[in-house]
Amino acid sequence: MATSFGAALSIQVEKQLKENDDQLLTSMNEVQVELFALFSALFAALTGRAIELVVGLGEIKERMMWRIEHQPDLFAKTVNQATGELGEFYNHHSINIYQRAKSFGGMRLVTGGQRLFGPSALNAVRITGLYADTQLIPDPVYPFISSDLKLNAAPLQLAIQLFHILQLRPLVDARFPVPAVFIFPSFEEPLEQNDAHTKLGLEELSIRLISPICRGQIHSLEELFEYSTKQETAFLEALMPSGLFIPPGGEPGISLSASEAASQYLKELEGVRSPHVLDQMKHMPIGPLLLNGVLERLRPQYHLFENSNELGAQALLSQRVHWHYFEKIAQANATDLRSQNVISDQAFQTLHAVQDNSLSWLANIPVTTLVQLISNNEHRWLREELNKYTSQLASAGPIDTNEMIKEVSHGLASLVQRQRKSLNDIELRYAPKKAAVLTGGVIGAGLVASAVMLPLLSPLLAVGVPAVALAGAASGALIGFGKEKIGEVVEKRHAGKSMLGVLATARPS
């Protein structure tokens, strides 16, 4: 990996202010396309293979290990070059990308609450894309370029991040007038290291959330760590039932002893943190270790709240554990979970509901299909349709999350049923016409013959029989039947590509 990861944030700001006039002329759609092209080039440099040809994470690791062992010089050269080009891009565009992220209208959401962009975040984006206008996504690659994350096998972890974020490339390449997704650098690592306001904000949030479980007055992080060390028993007895510590991979509500929680915490970091950092953590007393775990949960949440305020977007999370911390922080800060000027309570609760595990089948919809739906504005249609099912619940007062999940699930099931009725209606509408032009058992030949006579429609029917083989079979009646059948199939194809059709296909029987 390259050892120089770009200029400091302050240098970036100074340089980009000078270049503002030039960059205003650059379409942000094109900038996003360029960013994803650089992501793709870096992934290919790391793995030696284009993203489209890699099937999973296991293949990524195997290919990288092979390249490091058999092509170390070529590996280093290509990765350094791709990293350098991406670093130059960030130096040139990152500030303007962030500024542009503030300007979107419509239903705009900002994701976050976690350090990495993994499968759960990807699925959340795919699901929410069925409903929202724009999803603002913190760039998961930027931290690798701008900071030392003290990770184990950093190139491998970088390649994994690239693999997941590149699944969204069709949404970027579509160049929608209103971007469905927009990747922006949130500058989390540089701000935590260099910005006094960020450091103070993180400290105040930590004290506000954790100090109530401590006996006595706590005014700083130093005092928090001192208390967790010197009053370890009291600290742990209050911490574990509070729900403030949940180890990576854990879920809210699971009861663990302090020693079990510490063991799971360290186990989850094996292979992720650098050996030096992990060794230091293993030698920490349990009190400070679990306090550190809580702080690690709070940092991305703090940045999510900051991004939500700065960008004028609704914060959205993808995992129940992240919602758990989001709600605790909102309570501690006496703030609302939703941005009042961005989204209604009904829409917010609907978005929360579609992330429930019972509706995880929505993530089965391919990104390429999502592109087609968004291009036809069907995400706005779905938003309006679901509002019809949830409006009565919203008008009755405060919305219970479980009730909203039931209403959204019922609404989706009703829409799927509507699609099935629509297909049945198409069949019934064409049945008399087909019966009028055809009797007997040569339906298949007539259908294929008509496809031959109307070759522009044959792809819709997946017909590949040579015309010469059917030259004598296509009577006038057969052709008449075939035209009616083609009309039926075309209508069904169009129906299947609609939002209703896609939902019906994705939903388990």
Long-range contacts of residues 57-60, Cβ cutoff 8 Å, at least 24 apart: 57/160, 57/163, 60/156, 60/159, 60/160, 60/163
Please measure the distance between the N-terminal and C-terminal CA atoms of the chain and give it in whole angstroms: 48
User: Mean pLDDT for each 10-residue chunk of the chain (509 residues)?
Assistant: 38 46 63 96 96 92 93 94 95 91 90 86 92 94 87 90 96 94 90 90 93 89 94 95 92 90 94 91 96 94 91 89 90 81 86 86 90 92 89 74 87 84 58 51 44 40 44 51 51 63 81
8: β partners: none
Q: Would you call 277 helix, strand, or coil by DSSP?
A: helix
Closest CA to 343 of 315, 320, 362: 315
Q: What is the DSSP letter of 469?
A: G
DSSP conformation letters of 297-352: HHHHHHHHHHHHHHHT-EEE-SSHHHHHHHHHHHHHHT--SS-TTT--HHHHHHHH
Residues 6+ apart with CB under 8 A from 425: none
DSSP conformation letters of 118-155: -HHHHHHHHHHTTT-SEEEEE-SSHHHHHS---BTTHH
Q: At what angle do helices 232-242 and 221-230 cross, to 10 degrees?
A: 110
In terms of DSSP bridges, do strands 314-316 and 181-184 run parallel, antiparallel, or are they unpaired?
unpaired
What burial letters (b/e) apply to 71-82, b meaning 16+ CB within 10 Å? eeeebeebbeeb
The label of the residue with tokens 């499968």 reads 119
Q: Is-contact 461 486, C-beta < 8 A?
A: yes
280: β partners: none
Query: What order of strands is seen across the sheet that includes strand 181-184?
Result: 181-184, 134-138, 108-111, 314-316
Residues 6+ apart with CB under 8 A from 121: 111, 114, 164, 318
Q: At what angle do helices 28-47 and 72-100 cross, to 10 degrees?
A: 160
* Burial class (CB within 10 angstroms; exposed 0-12, middle 13-18, buried 19+) of 475: middle
CA distance readout (Å), 217 to 201, 211, 220, 226, 227: 19, 8, 10, 12, 10
Q: At what angle do helices 154-165 and 119-128 cross, to 10 degrees?
A: 20
Residue 467, phi-psi category: left (phi > 0), alpha (psi -120 to 50), beta (remainder): alpha
Q: Two tokens at 274?
A: 């650098």
In this predicted structure, what is the pLDDT of residue 47?
95
Q: Where are the domains of the chain?
A: 9-194, 195-304, 412-506
Q: Is-contact 461 450, C-beta < 8 A?
A: no
CA distance 301 to 425: 49
Q: Is-contact 349 401, C-beta < 8 A?
A: yes
CA distance readout (Å), 328 to 120, 123, 205, 238, 332: 21, 24, 11, 16, 6
Q: Would you call 228 helix, strand, or coil by DSSP?
A: helix
110: β partners: 136, 315
DSSP conformation letters of 2-40: -S-----HHHHHHHHHHTHHHHHTS-HHHHHHHHHHHHH
184: β partners: 138
Q: What is the dihedral of CA 343, 344, 345, 351, to 10 degrees?
A: -50
Q: Estimate the share of the chain in helix, then strand, then coil, as percent rounded to the nearest 5.
A: 70, 5, 25
Q: What angle do CA 144, 363, 376 make, to 5 degrees?
A: 100
